[in-house]
């Protein structure tokens, strides 16, 4: 909602970087609420849930089950919240912002979305490490804000936040692109998963085992 309202405020501005910066400043708010409240975010589990499998304490089937449940749950949650935002738009007045954000995401080719999502997944999984390493709530909030600000400022695709933006766009637009929306969410999810598991999970695990 905050991202859509910010995009709407700066709609038509010629300064692309100012608009991107303004959106990035509010982009982390949803992540902070989700992570600090203890809800299960898919991209948080891409690395941390992998370690018991690499340590041969948990079977791969259990890992895939966890990923599947959390991903489906997150997508159902974003779909529900997007529908509620749509029903509340007479008060929020962010319809054009939702459409603008969704249309921008759908302009990228699937390969670009996938590559960008790898970077976003890498950052989010690293953010999970930072949150666990931060003893205070203030430190955790700061870590989440820094990581997700970088993702927002870079315009990197996040599967869950992106799904929320895509779903909101579908509800508000008169010409919904269901196929393109599905491809975006799939590419973002697999890219996030690869970035978190390979570049954070596997490499960090190898480093920890080497140090033992």
The two tokens of residue 21 are 């910066």
Which pLDDT value is given to residue 123? 94
Which pLDDT value is given to residue 206? 66
pLDDT at residue 211 is higher than 80: no
**By mean pLDDT, which of 126-135, 142-151, 170-179 is the weakest?**
126-135
Architecture of domain 17-211: Up-down Bundle (1.20)
Residue 189's nearest CA partner among 157, 148, 156, 149 is 157
Which pLDDT value is given to residue 122? 92
pLDDT at residue 141 is higher than 90: yes
Q: What is the pLDDT of the chain when averaged over all its residues?
A: 91
In the DSSP assignment, the letter for residue 43 is: G
- List pLDDT tens digits, range 6-62: 999 998 888 889 999 999 999 999 999 998 988 888 988 787 788 788 888 889 899
Residue 143's nearest CA partner among 154, 152, 132 is 132
Per-residue pLDDT band for 156 (boundaries 50, 70, 90) equals very high
Mean pLDDT across 163-187: 96
pLDDT at residue 208 is higher than 80: no
Which pLDDT value is given to residue 207? 63
Residue 43's nearest CA partner among 128, 135, 145 is 128
């Amino acid at each position: 909602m905050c991202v859509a309202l910010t995009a709407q405020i700066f709609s038509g501005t010629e300064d692309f970087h100012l608009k991107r910066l303004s959106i990035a400043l509010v982009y982390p708010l949803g992540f902070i609420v989700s992570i600090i409240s203890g809800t299960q975010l898919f991209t948080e589990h891409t690395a941390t849930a992998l370690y018991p499998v690499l340590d041969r304490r948990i079977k791969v089937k259990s890992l895939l089950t966890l990923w599947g449940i959390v991903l489906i749950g997150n997508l159902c949650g974003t779909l529900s919240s997007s529908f509620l935002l749509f029903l509340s738009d007479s008060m929020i007045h962010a319809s054009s912002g939702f459409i603008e954000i969704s249309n921008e995401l759908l302009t990228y080719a699937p390969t670009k979305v996938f590559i960008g999502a790898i970077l976003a997944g890498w950052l989010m999984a690293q953010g999970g490490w930072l949150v666990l390493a931060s003893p205070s709530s203030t430190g955790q909030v700061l870590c989440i804000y820094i990581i997700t600000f970088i993702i927002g400022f870079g315009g990197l695709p996040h599967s869950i936040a992106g799904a929320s933006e895509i779903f909101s766009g579908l509800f508000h637009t008169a010409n919904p692109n269901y196929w393109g929306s599905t491809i975006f969410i799939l590419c973002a999810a697999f890219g996030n998963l690869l970035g978190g598991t390979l570049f954070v999970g596997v490499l960090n695990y190898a480093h920890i085992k080497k140090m033992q």
